Structures are given as C-alpha cells and as structure tokens.
Structure 1
Amino acid sequence: MPAKVLVTREIPEAGLRTLREAGFDVTVLSEAPPAREELLEAAEGAEGVLSTVTETIDGEFMEAAGDGLKVVANMAVGYDNVDLGAAGRGASSSPTPRRPRRDHGRRRVHAPARRGAAPRGGRAGPARGPVGVVGPEALHGPGRVGKRLGVVGLGRIGKAVARRARGFGMEVVYYNRSRKPEAERELGARRMELGELLETSDFVSVHTPLTEEAHHLIGAEELGRMKPRAVLVNTSRGPVVDEAALADALEAGNIFAAGLDVYEEEPKVHPKLLERENVVLAPHIGSGSIETRDKMAVLAAENIRAVLMGEPPKSPVEE
C-alpha cells in the first residue's frame, strides 16, 4: 500500500506533483484553512503531513494521526505552529527560500520611512491625497544613508537584510542570543543588548523566531526606548511585537513609523493600526512570488519524500 500523505490545504501544483510522482497516496484538504475537526479526521493513518502556518500541529493532532506518522513538513519560514516535542517522532522542516523574504524586509524598511502614504496619494490624486502632497514636506521621512540599522535576530534572513542595508551605506548592529563572529567580520556588525540597540538605532528590523521568550519581545517598554524618528519593521511573526503598544507609540509620536507584514491574530489587524498614516501594512506576502511559493512547496514535499524513503530530511529543524 502506498504511504498516505496529508496536505492540509491547497498548495502549488509543483509540490503536489513531487508527492504524487513519488507514488504516495495524497489527500489535499480543500477548505482553507481546514476546520479543526476535519483536520484531525483527515490525519488518521497519515505517514507524512505537509502543513502550513494556519494549522496547529500538536499532541492532539499526532494522536489522531497514529503511530505511523513519520514526518511533518511545514511550508513556512517558521514553525511555531508545530509542537516540536509532540513531533519528535518525525521531522518538522522550515523550507522557505531566502531571497523574497529578505528583499521584502528591505522594502519594509524603505516604505515606512516615506510614511506609507505615497500609494494612497497616487491613487487619490494630488487634489484628494494626503495633506500637502505636492509640498516639499509631503511624504518625507528619515533617509537611510549613514543611519544605523538594528537587526533583532541575525539568522539567515536578518543577515541578508543587513547586507542590503550595508549597500545603502548604513551601519549595522544586531541583537542575538549568541554572537555571530562571521557575520560581524562580513558586515562590520556589532552585537548589542536589546535595550542599547533600540535606544541607538534609526531603523529596527525584527527577524527573530517566535518562542515563549520572544512573545512581545517588543512591547511598550521597548518601544519607549526607541528614538522619536525611528522606524520599526516586523517581518518575523506577529506576536513578537505587542500591536496595541505599537499603535499607542505611533499615535503618541514616540516612534516615527512602522512597517508590518505579520500580525498577532492574522488575518486580523489591530484597528488602531488600520487608522494610522505612519504604518505600512502588508498581508504576510514576504514570500509571495510564484517562483518562491513553488520552491517552498517542492522543498516541503522533498522533505516528506526523503523521510518516507528512509533518508534524512533535507531541511530538518534544529531544536
């Protein structure tokens, strides 16, 4: 009997083709995201699971799947939706290719610095756009040349954003649990404690994974330490930043602007943030190119194929 592989929602055909060509019995749930009951029912008997961030893969799910489950491959940058302790019998992978997300992080730095009003002004036209749209002080903000970028979480994406920042003549400092000597040599970056980074950086870009310690890592106290003309960017996970505190900081003028691609309760956005002209909001599209989503689906599928054929996963999560 071919091994059963559950795909928890529709994914690019390239990934499904990889699984089917391997001879697996592939079940794809059509509801996006699937109801919990449907997900647990479909898990029964699965030897491999290809999930996305909208599905919670926990002990209850593992129990529903049964003892035959060998691998969980998560089609996402992070894996905070997967209980790694419960998934210990198999593997959980994080297969997002690098380029689109790091480029998206760079754009999130640029757009809030221009107050994010240009797109609205362009659609509305000068007569109905933001106040003073044709004046010398319209849509302006802090430049990047010679400014300091503080990177919170210097993993592969954080390093890629830092490289691009260096191309704009920015100084790079970073906060990370451990030092990154190679990155320091390559980028001329300096490691700082989080408080000092926030107090001295002109732009702060967040790239840390979501863990218990990282929940609300950037809250009211941390925002209060930032410069009044500083820009905060979060393309990691929504709960790393306290949205309510961020909305208050933007409203009070404690920081200049923010750019967000992720939210605490996706797809919901804090209503105060929706009202702000000095925040740029994107609907979690950092990996949103056709090519990247295809690569994500294929890599997740290849992780499943490898494990079910007795080989090591291509991109295992290291706890």
Structure 2
Amino acid sequence: MSATRPRVLLTQRQTDPVMQRIEQNFTIAPVPDHRMTTRELLDAARAFQPQAIMTSTGLPLRGDDVAQLPDCVKVVATVSVGTDHLDIPALHARGIIVTNTPDVLTDCNADMAILLMLAAARRAGEYTTLMREGWGRPLAMDEMLGTRISGKRLGIVGMGRIGQAVARRARGFDMTVMYSNRRRLPAAQEAGATYFSTLTDMLPHCDILSLHLPATPETEGMIDADLLGRLPRGAIFINAARGALVDEDALIAALRSGQLAAAGLDVYRNEPNPDPRFLELPNVFLTPHVGSATIETRTDMGMLAIENVEAVLNGRAAPTPVHA
C-alpha cells in the first residue's frame, strides 16, 4: 500500500476480523448500521470519493447508477458469488473492475440446501409452531407426519460447485442423484449422478427438486406452472439459489393444490419483503436469504473481497474477477 491509504466505501458492516483488516489498511467512511440503498451508496461515493466499493447482493447498481459513480472508483468488490445486482457491462465500460467471492461459500450454501430439504420434508416449521403454542397433547401415530429424505430421488438444477457439494451431501442420505445442466460433467465429477440433457425429462423422476444456478435473463422465471406440474405429485421443492428463477404465483398454487407437498425457500423475488402468501402456507419452510450466514464463511467472503481490492489498487490482477 502507498503512504496514503486507499479509500474504501463499505455499504454495510462486515464481520469483526474483516472490519479489523479494513480499518488497518484503508481509510473508510462511517459504516451505516443498515445496508445502504443505491441512493445512499451514490451519495456517499460522491462525498467520500473512494477508490473501491465493497457491496453485496440486494443493492443494485444499474446503468444510470453506474454513470453516477465518481471517476476515482477503480473496483467494485461484491461480497457474494451472485452478480445479478450489478450491471457488469456498464461498470466495465467505465473501466471499473468487478470482483466477486466464489468457492468460499460453497459448503455453507450446500449445507443450507440440505437444511431446507430436511426442514421441509419433516415439517420443521409446523413442529416449531406447535411447540411455541404449547403442544399440550400427544400426537397420534398418523398425525403431522413428514417424509423421510433418505433414499429419495434428488434432482439438481445447475451442477456447478454448489450443486456438486449438495450431491455429495445427498449421497450421505442414500439419495439417488440426478442433474440437469448446460453440459454434462466429466464422470469423476458426476460421481454416479444421472445426467439429463433437458430439465423436462428429469422432472418426472424427482421426489425432491433443488435449484443451484444463477439468475440471468435466460433463467428468469424458468420454474413455472408447466415445469412444476411435471414433478410427481407430492414432490418437495428447494430454492437456495435465486428467487428470480421462480414464478412465485405458480409455486404458491402448486403448494396449495398439493402438487407440491412442501417447499424450503431461502430466496425470494422481492427481498427483503417476500410475498406474504408464503407466510400463510404451513407447508413452506422459510429462511431470510442466509445461505452463507456463518461466521466462518462471511469472514472468508469479506477477506477475499479485500484481497481483490488490494490487488486492483496495487496494479495486480484480481484473484476472482467477474468477466462480462
């Protein structure tokens, strides 16, 4: 680093170890006690004139927003794998390098998918509600029964790093793993999973369907009424990827009709204010987009973002750049 410490704008607080490293190596503006809005980010950038911005999902920077960033900004480091909140071409056109934090959150996101499967299948939300309301009587042998996931057929949509990590965990439950992907994996990475070149061919064989692919214009709303209707009646639906992948009207209808027995959701189209109809459905287990929310993973993500910022501001190649 130069004698004059670089200026970094944080759109929200990071974990304590990450904050300590940032405060030791950079000059930072006061960090808000909430995640900034886009307007707040742009106002702060104009006032603070940072060389780097550390942001994350849920804070969009689109074409008009990018045009308002001051010329001093050299790098936008998102503390996330997903980059659908950023206008990558517009940022690159301004000469701004974009980085993300892949790999370090793979295990936690895969763990979350398994948590959602277990919670949805075993009616964890309903059991918790019953306990908080006082329980009060023994349950009958045929009352509030869930479904075991052991031995079930799991269909994974998107067999990248996280999808493969989910598959490894699923095998611990003796699940039969199938996947649909843009291209087939090498046999060593498949590890016995069955490949389907089209999602429609895979769906009728899935007891559980789990999404693990990014949100892009091509995947917008891809899980619709037609695809949900191709699943066996009583299937379980899991989404720990992106809410934009799903037609939520169709998902809610499938849950109400019994086409889906249950769903486990960590992501939604309208975050942080998801469709309130989900709260009315007892067969949905909901978490607030916390797939990476462990001390270890959030710290690793923040540290990787810092490494990207340091590299760019010192004229080196970013460890994990995002290409257009």
Q: Shared fold (TM-score greater than 0.5)?
A: yes
User: Residue 15 of structure 1 corresponds to which residue in structure 2?
Assistant: 18
User: Residue 29 of structure 2 corresponds to which residue in structure 1?
Assistant: 27
* Residue 126, structure 1, aligned to residue 130, structure 2: no
Whole-angstrom distance in 2 between the partners of 1:244 and 1:139: 26
Whole-angstrom distance in 2 between the partners of 1:124 and 1:270: 25
User: Residue 115 of structure 1 corresponds to which residue in structure 2?
Assistant: 123
Report if the CA contact (8 A) 1:210-1:237 is conserved.
yes
Written as runs of structure 1 = structure 2, the 5 A alignment for 1:70-81 is: 70-81=74-85
Query: Alpha carbons of 1:125 and 1:31: their partners in 2 closer, same or farther (altered >3 Å)?
Result: closer
Query: Alpha carbons of 1:308 and 1:208: their partners in 2 closer, same or farther (altered >3 Å)?
Result: same
Segment drifting more, 47-56 vs 290-299: 290-299
User: Residue 213 of structure 2 corresponds to which residue in structure 1?
Assistant: 208
Report if the CA contact (8 A) 1:2-1:25 is conserved.
yes
Give, in angstroms, the shift of residue 189 of structure 1. Answer: 3.3
Segment drifting more, 81-90 vs 250-259: 81-90
Question: Any unmatched runs of 5+ in structure 2?
Answer: none
Give CA-to-partner distance per residue, 1:81-132, whole Å, 9 cap, x none.
111111223122134522221111111111111233222223223337xxxx
Written as runs of structure 1 = structure 2, the 5 A alignment for 1:124-163 is: 124-127=133-136, 134-163=139-168
Give, in angstroms, the shift of residue 16 of structure 1. Answer: 2.7
Written as runs of structure 1 = structure 2, the 5 A alignment for 1:20-59 is: 20-22=23-25, 24-30=26-32, 32-44=34-46, 45-59=49-63
Query: Alpha carbons of 1:179 and 1:264: their partners in 2 closer, same or farther (altered >3 Å)?
Result: same
Amino acid at match of 1:71: V
Report if the CA contact (8 A) 2:177-2:193 is conserved.
yes
Which of 100, 113, 135 lines up with 1:105 in the alignment? 113
Give, in angstroms, the shift of residue 159 of structure 1. Answer: 0.6
Whole-angstrom distance in 2 between the partners of 1:185 and 1:294: 30
Segment drifting more, 6-15 vs 136-145: 136-145
SS at match of 2:155: strand
> Which structure 1 residue ranges, 4+ long, deviate > 3 Å from structure 2?
182-185
Give CA-to-partner distance per residue, 1:14-58, whole Å, 9 cap, x none.
223223333x22224415232433211222332211001121123
Give, in angstroms, the shift of residue 318 of structure 1. Answer: 4.3
Written as runs of structure 1 = structure 2, the 5 A alignment for 1:208-287 is: 208-287=213-292
Report if the CA contact (8 A) 1:142-1:229 is conserved.
no
RMSD after superposition: 1.9
Report if the CA contact (8 A) 2:78-2:98 is conserved.
no
Q: TM-score, normalised by structure 2?
A: 0.90
Q: TM-score, normalised by structure 1?
A: 0.91
Report if the CA contact (8 A) 2:113-2:238 is conserved.
yes
Give CA-to-partner distance per residue, 1:273-312, whole Å, 9 cap, x none.
1111111011112112222222221111121111111122
Number of residue pairs aligned between Structure 1 and Structure 2: 314
Question: Any unmatched runs of 5+ in structure 1?
Answer: none
Segment drifting more, 298-307 vs 138-147: 138-147
Query: Alpha carbons of 1:65 and 1:4: their partners in 2 closer, same or farther (altered >3 Å)?
Result: farther
Give CA-to-partner distance per residue, 1:2-22, whole Å, 9 cap, x none.
322111122223223223333
